[in-house]
Amino acid sequence: MRLYDTHCHLDFSAFDKDRSQVVAGAQRVGVERFMLLGITEQQWSNLIKLCDDFSPAFRFSLGLHPYFIHQHQSTHINALASCFESLSDSARARCQAIGEIGLDATCEQPKLQKALLDQQLVLAKNYQLPVILHHRKTLDELLKSVREKRVEHGVVHAFSGSYEQAAAWVDQGFKLGIGGTITYERAKKTRDAIQRIGVEHLVLETDAPDMPLCGYQGRRNEPKRVAQVLQSLAKLLETSTEAISPVLWKNSTALFN
Looking at the structure, give the CATH architecture of the domain made up of residues 3-255: Alpha-Beta Barrel (3.20)
The Cα 108–Cα 206 span in angstroms is: 26
β partners of residue 60: 36, 95
pLDDT for position 257? 86
Q: Are 38 and 2 in contact (CB under 8 A)?
A: no
Per-residue pLDDT reduced to its tens digit, 57-82: 999 999 999 999 999 999 999 999 99
Residues 82-91, mean pLDDT to the nearest whole number: 95
* Rg of the chain in Å (alpha carbons): 17
pLDDT band at 152 (very low <50, low <70, confident <90, very high): very high
Where do the structural domains in the chain lie, given as residue ranges? 3-255
β partners of residue 85: none
Neighbours of 120 (CB within 10 A): 24
Q: How far is CA 93 from CA 5, 40, 74, 90, 110, in A?
A: 18, 21, 27, 5, 33
Per-residue pLDDT reduced to its tens digit, 9-52: 999 999 999 999 999 999 999 999 999 999 999 999 999 999 99
Q: How far is CA 255 from CA 96, 175, 176, 201, in A?
A: 9, 8, 11, 11
